[in-house]
């Protein structure tokens, strides 16, 4: 059952050819503006007054035809069905040399068995000849650098504008742990991805990093607290001053008000006696034997009482170590330099438009304004793909077996983290993001407060979302997403972070902060009043950062588009036309039809922080002055807000 409050569009009259003379035709729906949209005209429903429901006005004809099937999870939409599936088709067909070689080795994994076993045994010997804990710690670093999995993983995060190597406790044995009794592990991986997204986007969680990072320089894991990590760094060739430790459970730490400074797991690891430590390291080394020979392989399977599904295992390795390499293949194949340049050009225009708005801003003190502009100027712009670094690219050309492939993949992963360590954030953040968290084959765009970077993934600079072939109004409507990400740097969460991605508020005075709070509170109240199903209202608090970003996104992109038209010598009428088209295109970017199940899921899931599609449109346009004039929206129209009621934030 579709229980939406979306307008049912009742035709004004039923015309009947035979009786046409006798029917008194009511007037055409009042033209809402002298300017008629020229884009997405077939999606427009002229029976809906834009001021009553702009979403349905702009997409209503499409909406009537759209059908939600049982496979749609309650929603059909442009982003999900058109854009994402077009993109997925590309990701399904990535031509990666690395993956191809690994796949061919996986077919006959036990080649070079003797050499490989010998290689593993050499490592065992090194462990057995180590005398002290210190030696073993250093050896752990060396082995990790050589491509052995150890009970930790490195990722690359920022501190004070520089990239650092961050230790995460990780007790996963690559190969044995991939042998499973059933294949229901997939959900766990998704969770992992979501967890990272949460960490990157949610300051209250990333805040957990802060005490840990602070501890590095001052209380020093260098000398007293973390001799183990210092030795590991030494073994890996990383400067301990650029390395941090992170607890393995961010969320708990965040809840503990940042009191926890270290991971208990690391503490336990450090406290192991020499013999126990050697034993543990050997377990990690021996894990690799499973891929050396049929005999070891069968033994490992028997012990785990499961089977190793090679394709799942490959996916695991790819997911874990090959994000950067895979991103490279993907970009190489699908994302042209032109796409990247167009996207970057757009971001430049948007940043300029934002700066202009800031110059005209009347509610910020000079001090806060300067902070905002400084942060905006420093914001790293990561569009489409980075300038590739050799350290992250996997070369399997000399490899003769799957085991060797895996060692090269692990080694390469650590090499890029190492290469990034100490690099400035604006240079390194994109590499880090795609090596550690999200490869470029994910359909994504995000602001990362910990890097102060906006990240526009390839999907957003490609057809059917953004391309040179499009009418500019559509292109700039898509660019609202870029501007949305920029605005996240200045939403109620992003405002707590400075230009380096450290926790320092952008507010120079309490008064500025209070005024900001007052303005965003308006948005909260507005969204709380949107009835998304009969008797069910949107959650203005939960969706606040996204709504701030949506509003900034539209205003900044509209400014940029208007400026572009002016620069191109457009007449006033052309500009008006362009703006009308922009708003229609914006609504069509979020065109969607969804049912009650989708609405409930969205409202009840705390992770779903975006407003529903309809409110992403109606909630935003009704705060945008230009829209009132362009679509002749007047008091009495359902979406009408008087100027005092509109939220003016950025």
The site for Zn ion (CB under 5 A) is made up of 546, 549
Kindly state the smallest distance separating residue 609's Cβ from Zn ion, in Å.
8
Distance CA 223, CA 501 (A): 26
Residues 6+ apart with CB under 8 A from 408: 147, 394, 395, 396, 399
Kindly state the smallest distance separating residue 235's Cβ from Zn ion, in Å.
40
Question: How far is the CA of 408 from the CAs of 300, 397, 398, 435, in angstroms?
Answer: 22, 11, 10, 15
Distance CA 342, CA 462 (A): 10
- Closest CB to Zn ion among 284 and 650? 650
Kindly state the smallest distance separating residue 623's Cβ from Zn ion, in Å.
17
Q: What b-and-e string marks burial along 564-596, b requiring 16 or more CB atoms within 10 Å of the CB?
A: bbeeeeeeeeebbbbbbbbbbbbbbbbbbbbbb
- Closest CB to Zn ion among 208 and 486? 486
Can you tell me which residue has the tokens 């529903």?
612
CB 156 within 8 A of CB 421: yes
Can you tell me which residue has the tokens 């459970």?
249
Distance CA 246, CA 268 (A): 14
Distance CA 124, CA 122 (A): 5
Kindly state the smallest distance separating residue 200's Cβ from Zn ion, in Å.
12
Closest by Cα among 73, 50, 78, 74 to 62: 78
N-to-C CA span, the chain = 40
Phi and psi of 253, rounded to 5°? -60, -45
- Closest CB to Zn ion among 19 and 607? 607
Kindly state the smallest distance separating residue 610's Cβ from Zn ion, in Å.
7
Kindly state the smallest distance separating residue 448's Cβ from Zn ion, in Å.
11
Kindly state the smallest distance separating residue 29's Cβ from Zn ion, in Å.
35
Kindly state the smallest distance separating residue 27's Cβ from Zn ion, in Å.
42
Can you tell me which residue has the tokens 């599936």?
85
Distance CA 483, CA 476 (A): 10
Kindly state the smallest distance separating residue 530's Cβ from Zn ion, in Å.
18
Residue 128 tokens, joined: 């057995």
Residues 6+ apart with CB under 8 A from 50: 32, 57, 58, 631, 632, 633
CB 491 within 8 A of CB 543: no
Kindly state the smallest distance separating residue 446's Cβ from Zn ion, in Å.
7
Q: What sign results for the dihedral spanned by CA atoms 557, 563, 568, 569?
A: positive
- Residue with the CB atom nearest Zn ion in the bound state: 549
Kindly state the smallest distance separating residue 454's Cβ from Zn ion, in Å.
11
- Closest CB to Zn ion among 550 and 581? 550
- Closest CB to Zn ion among 425 and 481? 481
- Closest CB to Zn ion among 472 and 526? 526
Q: Which helix (H) or strand (E) holds 342?
A: helix 337-360
The interaxial angle of helices 613-621 and 510-528, nearest 10 deg, is 120
Kindly state the smallest distance separating residue 488's Cβ from Zn ion, in Å.
6
Q: Which helix (H) or strand (E) holds 446?
A: strand 445-448
Question: How far is the CA of 605 from the CAs of 489, 542, 611, in angstroms?
Answer: 24, 10, 12
Kindly state the smallest distance separating residue 118's Cβ from Zn ion, in Å.
52
Q: Which helix (H) or strand (E) holds 159?
A: strand 152-159
Kindly state the smallest distance separating residue 210's Cβ from Zn ion, in Å.
23
Distance CA 378, CA 591 (A): 34
Question: How far is the CA of 121 from the CAs of 172, 247, 288, 398, in angstroms?
Answer: 21, 32, 10, 21
- Closest CB to Zn ion among 343 and 578? 343
Phi and psi of 35, rounded to 5°? -105, 125
């Amino acid at each position: 059952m579709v229980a939406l409050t979306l307008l049912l569009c009742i035709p004004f009259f039923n015309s009947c050819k035979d009786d046409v003379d006798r029917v008194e035709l009511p007037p055409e729906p009042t033209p809402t503006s002298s300017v008629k949209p020229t884009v997405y005209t077939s999606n427009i429903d002229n029976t809906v007054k834009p001021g009553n429901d702009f979403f349905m006005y702009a997409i209503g004809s499409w909406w009537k035809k759209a059908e939600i099937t049982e496979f749609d999870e309650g929603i059909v939409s442009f982003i999900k069905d058109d854009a994402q599936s077009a993109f997925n088709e590309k990701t399904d067909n990535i031509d990666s040399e690395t993956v191809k070689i690994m796949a061919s080795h996986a077919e006959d994994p036990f080649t070079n068995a003797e050499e490989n076993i010998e290689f593993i045994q050499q490592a065992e010997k090194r462990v057995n000849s180590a005398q002290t804990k210190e030696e073993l710690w250093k050896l752990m670093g060396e082995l990790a650098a050589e491509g052995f999995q150890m009970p930790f993983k490195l990722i690359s995060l920022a501190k004070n504008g520089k990239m650092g190597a961050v230790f995460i406790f990780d007790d996963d044995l690559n190969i044995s742990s991939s042998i499973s009794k059933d294949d229901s592990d997939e959900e766990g991986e998704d969770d992992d991805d979501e967890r990272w997204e949460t960490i990157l986007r949610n300051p209250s969680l990333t805040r957990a990093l802060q005490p840990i990072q602070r501890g590095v320089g001052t209380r020093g894991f260098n000398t007293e607290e973390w001799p183990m990590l210092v030795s590991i760094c030494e073994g890996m060739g990383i400067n301990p001053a650029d390395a941090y430790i992170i607890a393995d459970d961010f969320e708990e730490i965040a809840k503990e008000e940042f009191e926890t400074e270290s991971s208990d797991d690391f503490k336990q690891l450090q406290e192991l006696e020499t013999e126990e430590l050697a034993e543990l390291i050997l377990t990690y080394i021996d894990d690799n034997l499973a891929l050396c020979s049929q005999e070891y392989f069968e033994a490992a399977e028997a012990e785990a009482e499961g089977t190793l599904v090679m394709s799942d295992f490959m996916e695991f390795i790819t997911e874990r170590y090959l994000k950067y390499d895979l991103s490279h293949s993907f970009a190489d194949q699908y994302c042209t330099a032109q796409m990247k340049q167009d996207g970057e050009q757009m971001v430049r225009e948007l940043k300029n438009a934002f700066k202009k708005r800031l110059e005209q801003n009347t509610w910020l003190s000079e001090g806060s304004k300067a902070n905002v502009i400084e942060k905006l100027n420093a914001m790293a712009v990561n569009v489409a793909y980075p300038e590739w670094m050799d350290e992250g690219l996997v070369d399997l050309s000399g490899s003769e077996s799957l085991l060797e492939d895996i060692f090269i993949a692990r080694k390469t992963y650590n090499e890029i983290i190492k290469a990034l360590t100490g690099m400035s954030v604006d240079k390194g953040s994109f590499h880090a993001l795609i090596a550690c968290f999200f490869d470029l084959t994910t359909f994504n765009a995000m602001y990362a407060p910990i890097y102060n970077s906006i990240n526009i993934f390839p999907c957003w600079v490609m057809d059917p979302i953004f391309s040179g072939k499009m009418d500019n109004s559509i292109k700039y409507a898509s660019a609202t997403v870029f501007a949305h990400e920029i605005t996240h740097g200045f939403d109620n969460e992003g405002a707590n972070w400075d230009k380096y991605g450290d926790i320092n508020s952008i507010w120079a005075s309490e008064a500025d902060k209070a005024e900001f709070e007052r303005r965003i509170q308006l948005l909260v109240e507005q969204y709380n009043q949107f009835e998304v199903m009969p008797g069910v209202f949107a959650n203005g608090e939960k969706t606040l950062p996204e709504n701030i970003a949506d509003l900034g996104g539209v205003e900044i992109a509209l400014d940029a588009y208007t400026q572009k038209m002016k620069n191109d010598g457009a007449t006033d009428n052309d500009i008006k036309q362009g703006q009308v088209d922009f708003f229609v295109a914006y609504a069509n970017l979020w065109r969607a039809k969804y049912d009650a199940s989708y609405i409930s899921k969205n409202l009840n899931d705390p992770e779903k922080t975006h407003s529903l599609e309809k409110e992403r449109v109606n909630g935003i346009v009704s705060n945008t002055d230009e829209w009132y004039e362009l679509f002749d929206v007047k008091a009495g129209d359902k979406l009408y807000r008087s100027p005092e009621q509109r939220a003016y934030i950025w």
